[in-house]
Amino acid sequence: MVNIGHDLNLDNLPPLIAALPTVAEASIGHELTADALVMGFPEAVRAYKAALGDKASA
Amino acid sequence: MARLSVNLNKIALLRNSRRTGVPDVLRFARIAHDAGADGLTVHPRPDERHIRRDDVFGLAELMRPWRPAFELNIEGYPDSRFLDLVGQIMPEQCTLVPDAPDVLTSEEGWKLAPDQRRQVDPVISALKAMGSRVILFVDPDAAIVERVRDAGADGIEIYTGSYAAAFRAGIRTPCCAPAPRRLRAPPS
């Protein structure tokens, strides 16, 4: 099981997931919280879900 | 599809800058759940600079109806304090970091040389016996990753700070190869 974490954001996450499609989990806090200041916390969560490939959140 | 575990440390960090309890960590835990996150991560450091021990108990209580599908991941240095907390909370996942208590943030993973193996092997066994999945925070180094299986852990969390630093510098190689030292991000 491979997880990833640290300084992941909406820009660098999609190419990393594309290169490592078997990643099980990304733990994200700092960048998500920073984005939430602009877009709101629920929308930031949905944006990161979409960046991980969740089409329902896109 | 990779799961999203929302780390609430920075919400707690903001909360801790005043004595009003605002923002409420539990409120943001609920928002994360309702917005579609797959779980929560907390890193209760010994100095309680962000997530406090009491927060972890509050989160476990809030998450009770949502677990185990909505997972609680507790990160930390495996000292007796951490093991005591994990034993009471029984999180779905523990992510072990080799941090000294005074570091600003986790920027270095386990090397799993013999001295660390002697430290971490019994902890892994104990945590697995409690029912938690055990993940080791490691640098993106294939030689280290090879040692994880021997140590008995269930998996790894790859430190992606060096990848992110390279990405900021315009290096778009989609891998986790360590960035040159000069590209390393300052502690956050």
pLDDT at B97: 95
pLDDT at B187: 41
Residue A6: alpha-carbon gap to chain centroid: 11
pLDDT at B175: 59
Predicted complex ipTM exceeds 0.90: yes
B157 CB within 8 Å of a chain A CB: yes
B132 CB within 8 Å of a chain A CB: no
Report the predicted TM-score, pTM, of the whole model to 2 decimal places.
0.92
Q: The domain that contains B69 carries what CATH number?
A: 3.20.20.70
B2 CB within 8 Å of a chain A CB: yes
Do B5 and A56 count as a contact with CB atoms less than 8 A apart? no
DSSP string, A1-58: -EEEESS--TTTHHHHHHH-TT--EEEE-HHHHHHHHHH-HHHHHHHHHHHTT-GGG-
Binned at pLDDT 50, 70 and 90, residue B172 comes out as confident
Closest to B162 measured CA to CA, from B134, B135, B186 = B186
Question: Is the pLDDT assigned to residue B178 strictly greater than 60?
Answer: no
Question: Is the pLDDT assigned to residue B61 strictly greater than 50?
Answer: yes
pLDDT, tens digit (0-9, with 9 covering 90-100), for B46-58: 899 999 999 999 9
Among the residue ranges A23-32, B1-10, B48-57, B171-180, the one predicted with the least confidence is B171-180
Q: Which residue of B has its CA nearest to A57?
A: B36
Asked, for residue B92, whether it belongs to a domain, the answer is: yes
Buried b (16+ CB within 10 A) or exposed e, B146-157: ebbeebbbbbbb
Closest to B51 measured CA to CA, from B89, B32, B25 = B25
CB B156, CB B134: distance < 8 Å: no
Do B157 and A5 count as a contact with CB atoms less than 8 A apart? yes
**Which helix (DSSP H) or strand (DSSP E) does residue A45 occupy?**
helix A41-51
Mean pLDDT of the B132-144 span: 92
Mean per-residue pLDDT of chain B: 90
Among the residue ranges B58-67, B71-80, B107-116, B124-133, the one predicted with the least confidence is B107-116
Closest to B71 measured CA to CA, from B89, B51, B54 = B89
Give the count of domains, chain B: 1
Query: Taking the domains of chain A in order of start, what are their residue ranges?
Result: 3-57
Asked, for residue B188, whether it belongs to a domain, the answer is: no
